[in-house]
Structure 1
Amino acid sequence: MHSFIALAALSLGAGVLGQQVGTLTTETHPAMSISRCTKTGGCTTEDHTVTLDANWRWLHSTADSTNCYTGQTWDATLCPDPATCAQNCALDGADYAGTYGITSTGEALTMTLKTGSNVGSRVYLLGPKQENYVMFNLKNKEFTFDVDVSNLPCGLNGAVYFVEMDRDGGKSEFADNKAGAPYGTGYCDSQCPKDIKFINGKANIDGWTPSTGNTNTGTGDTGSCCNEMDIWEANKISAAVTPHVCNKAGQTACTTDTACGAAGVCDRAGCDFNSYRMGNESFYGAGKTVNTNTKFTIVTQFITKDGTDTGDLSEIRRIYVQDGVVIQNSKSDIADVSGNSITDDFCAAQKTAFGDDNTFAARGGLAAMGDAFERGMVLVMSIWDDYAAEMRWLDAPYPADAATTKPGVVRGTCAADSGVPATVESQNGAASVTYSNIKVGPIGSTYS
């Protein structure tokens, strides 16, 4: 599962986001194809592209190349207030390979942790006209892709997930957003991140406070919340699949600590299935049943209660395929928690066993996740390190003050002091993840 501000803690490069469109750097979206499959007709390739999240992009004056934001500071002249800032500042194109370490072969996308001064990145899948995000409804379907995490050590996360962003990145709804989906605007997730520089077309400068551990980031008074389905959060050591639900539909801004926090709009903790955390220490990792030294396939199935596309979501099932062998997910070895998939019953039992509040059920559980898919969700791919919790919630003992003998505390073999971003970036800056061969279709249609 996420740390409490997991994706909000993503490290930014030299540039950040804006709402007007700049013309100083040419925007060429990297190609990324996917396949739509049927049970009887096989799979058909669709040609798409990806676009870089606006939070990473260069933000400068609409009149020239003067930065609107540098380091952790907004330019007071260009950005005296949220609305004026959005009018004065332009979001520019990206050099994907040179600045951000993002390269594409058409069906495979490689993301590198550190390129020059930039750290991490986040991209979204665009439709064929490159005007809107591709929207997914995975109820009664499966989502499949290949991944290579062999170059992702402790403290890093290669994530593939869905969030309930606006199809056009908020362009039609918010008058000050002229850039929209082609420039990666409109991000939201279940952590209600407050480091997003522009939310709902306005600069998030009110209450802006520089981060203490990251010289490129800060937080404003406003967060950006929405439902989130974490298909894959993983490195070479550990992996988790986690639905997070919210009590509001679509992207919504939160403006108080309560609304943005653990008791607010969204379920930050989610309901996760991490094989190591669930008691099976030999299933996932280097040389294990799912061998992370080499590429493998991840299949995630979204089962509905009545077996139809409109029924309530009732189960999220995980399958792996490696070297031609189909590998069913590991079963829970935690006392009083049974199964190898995510159901509402599994989540309730897990929360009880681990001594956690069932915030997932309180916000609607799996049915609410299914409702979000019916409204449409955007595909996200990223690589990041964690300034908030050093990624220990994924691959090490967490929380730090909890006894490691307590069920659910140890999530992988990484050390209790691992994952410090400064160390990760200096020692493993060349770390990378590759996503490829994305397929979506009815249950049983995308793998064999």
Structure 2
Amino acid sequence: MKIIILITFLLYLTNLTISQKAGKLSPEVHPPITWQQCDANGQCNTVQGEIVIDANWRWVHSDQGTNCYTGNTWNPTICPDDISCAQNCSLEGANYESVYGVTTNQDSVRLDFITQSQGKNIGSRLFLMANETNYQLFQLLNQEFSFDVDVSKLDCGLNGALYLVSMDQDGGMTRFPSNSAGAKYGTGYCDAQCPRDLKFISGQANSEGWVPSPNNPNTGAGKHGSCCAEMDLWEANNMANALTPHPCDTSSQSMCEEDDCGGSASSNRYASICDPDGCDFNPYRMGNKTFFGPGLDVDTKSVFTVVTQFVTDDGTETGTLSAIKRLYVQNGQVISQSVSTIPGVTGNEITTDFCTTQKDVFGDPDSFSKHGGLAGMGKALKQGMVLVLSLWDDYFSDMLWLDSSFPVTASIDKPGVSRGPCSTTSGVPTTVESTDADAYVIYSNIKVGPINSTFKNKSTK
């Protein structure tokens, strides 16, 4: 009996180790990129890194080369259930430039919106890596994160997003032995929306109960989602931008099921362990309509630096997060975040008081406080988060929540509805993918260090 049990257990382990496999048809070679670690005196050392594309963008196929996933549907023979699907399917190496429109040059990375090769690729989602098999973790309490960005080619409906999420450093390999592809192949994604469009979650496929999207030929929604804390350092095009923390009850990645995932794919947006709305600071939404955009105070026609500072209550890296501050640097000038002009909501920093008051004045559900608020976001930042660099369009709400009036049924006179100058008819993906096919975003000059260490304060505006 003991021998039979041992053999069964070994077979079980064998099945686990061959699940969510790495493909063998194309080598996975990560494009290199550098970033800088600065000290309190502003002296910065160059760090050699690399980037990897999210597993959701990859070709997924059987050992015989048959597609496991085509368009927005799974192959029912290869993927009769989540476990078998993960065992039968491999994630293939990526051709970054020719297929996904991703190129690096020293400290910069360019993400093209539309790339035509064997098919049509739309946008991308990338992660910064410390080495070939591990994501780079950033612990940012009492620190600042800065980068340069070119959004000049991103019009209404597009979102060049640079943000942090609480992914496993190894992509989930240690926690989920059924994942043998790991961070090298971009596995383990999660965010505060608990996305259900991921093909693999926690070492298994998401094929069971998969419903193809009615308006997106490439995606759908499965029974499961992947939740974790999310710090949106930057969501922007050349018309609007937002800085938004999204805490969760548990910072690290966890799998949810069906409507308990909340978000746009569920019947109750607020059902999950995470805050899907966050506490955002969008200058336009906070009343200043002449601060950010082409030819304005922060001129989106040219490159500028974005600085995000994570202030703690005691000024140490072990303190409690008490404020998130934003600065811009352009043409040698340091530009402070615009000040709110919304009656009843004051200041230009994200604090607990700001968030509580904003939710009340805007009439928004306060899921931010419910899931830990600023202190909860601080726990995730202390634990360490992975950097995500992306470019996308929005099949759910046309990106109106970022750059237009949203909800479209609400009066534009209601505080919080006007978020940007774009038309409420803008941002339709089928239109954007045609008219803005040559759009791109460039992120560069990433620096991390103590507060006020990553930029030169030549003058203040």
AA at the equivalent of 2:44: C
Alpha-carbon distance in 1 for matches of 2:79, 2:277: 35
Alpha-carbon distance in 1 for matches of 2:132, 2:258: 35
Note the 1:68-147 alignment, pairs <5 A: 68-116=68-116, 117-127=120-130, 129-147=131-149
Per the TM alignment, residue 258 of structure 1 is displaced from its structure 2 partner at its CA by 3.2
String of CA shifts for 1:35-66, please: whole Å, max 9, x gaps. 000123600000100000000000011x2211
| RMSD, matched Cα | 0.9
The answer for the alignment partner of 1:25 in structure 2 is: 26
Q: Is the CA contact 2:194–2:272 (under 8 Å) kept in the aligned structure 1? A: no
> Which stretch shifts more, 381-390 or 69-78?
69-78
The answer for the alignment partner of 1:394 in structure 2 is: 402
Note the 1:209-220 alignment, pairs <5 A: 209-220=211-222
Helix, strand or coil: the match of 1:422? helix
The answer for the alignment partner of 1:57 in structure 2 is: 58
Helix, strand or coil: the match of 1:374? helix
User: TM-score scaled by structure 1?
Assistant: 0.95
Alpha-carbon distance in 2 for matches of 1:19, 1:84: 10
Alpha-carbon distance in 2 for matches of 1:359, 1:79: 37
Per the TM alignment, residue 185 of structure 1 is displaced from its structure 2 partner at its CA by 0.2
Q: Is the CA contact 2:54–2:126 (under 8 Å) kept in the aligned structure 1? A: yes
The answer for the alignment partner of 1:435 in structure 2 is: 443
The answer for the alignment partner of 1:39 in structure 2 is: 40
The total of aligned residue pairs comes to 429
The answer for the alignment partner of 1:410 in structure 2 is: 418
Alpha-carbon distance in 2 for matches of 1:424, 1:41: 41
Helix, strand or coil: the match of 1:33? strand
Alpha-carbon distance in 1 for matches of 2:85, 2:432: 34
Give 1:156's match in structure 2, choosing from 155, 158, 164. Answer: 158
Per the TM alignment, residue 76 of structure 1 is displaced from its structure 2 partner at its CA by 1.6
- Within the alignment, does 1:263 sit opposite 2:271 as a pair? yes
Q: Is the CA contact 1:51–1:123 (under 8 Å) kept in the aligned structure 2? A: yes
String of CA shifts for 1:219-244, please: whole Å, max 9, x gaps. 00101000000000000000000000
Alpha-carbon distance in 1 for matches of 2:41, 2:435: 49
Q: Is the CA contact 1:19–1:177 (under 8 Å) kept in the aligned structure 2? A: yes
Alpha-carbon distance in 1 for matches of 2:393, 2:278: 20
> Which stretch shifts more, 147-156 or 35-44?
35-44
Q: Is the CA contact 1:194–1:219 (under 8 Å) kept in the aligned structure 2? A: yes
Alpha-carbon distance in 1 for matches of 2:190, 2:56: 12
AA at the equivalent of 2:123: G
Q: Sequence identity, in percent? A: 54
Helix, strand or coil: the match of 1:258? helix
Give 1:323's match in structure 2, choosing from 331, 348, 352. Answer: 331
Q: Is the CA contact 1:139–1:304 (under 8 Å) kept in the aligned structure 2? A: yes
Helix, strand or coil: the match of 2:357? helix
- Gaps (5+ residues) in structure 2? 1-18, 263-268, 457-461
The answer for the alignment partner of 1:237 in structure 2 is: 239
Q: Is the CA contact 1:30–1:106 (under 8 Å) kept in the aligned structure 2? A: no
Helix, strand or coil: the match of 2:167? coil
Alpha-carbon distance in 1 for matches of 2:272, 2:219: 23
Task: Work out which of the two has the higher radius of gyration on C-alpha atoms and give 1 or 2.
Answer: 2
Alpha-carbon distance in 2 for matches of 1:30, 1:366: 35
The answer for the alignment partner of 2:280 in structure 1 is: 272
Note the 1:172-183 alignment, pairs <5 A: 172-183=174-185
AA at the equivalent of 1:357: P
- Within the alignment, does 1:371 sit opposite 2:379 as a pair? yes
String of CA shifts for 1:224-283, please: whole Å, max 9, x gaps. 000000000000000000000111230011113034341321100100000000000010
Q: Is the CA contact 2:158–2:392 (under 8 Å) kept in the aligned structure 1? A: yes
Alpha-carbon distance in 2 for matches of 1:231, 1:21: 31
Per the TM alignment, residue 72 of structure 1 is displaced from its structure 2 partner at its CA by 1.5
Alpha-carbon distance in 2 for matches of 1:101, 1:179: 23
Note the 1:280-319 alignment, pairs <5 A: 280-319=288-327
Q: Is the CA contact 1:29–1:49 (under 8 Å) kept in the aligned structure 2? A: yes
Alpha-carbon distance in 2 for matches of 1:390, 1:311: 39
Q: Is the CA contact 2:137–2:387 (under 8 Å) kept in the aligned structure 1? A: yes
- Gaps (5+ residues) in structure 1? 1-17
User: TM-score scaled by structure 2?
Assistant: 0.92
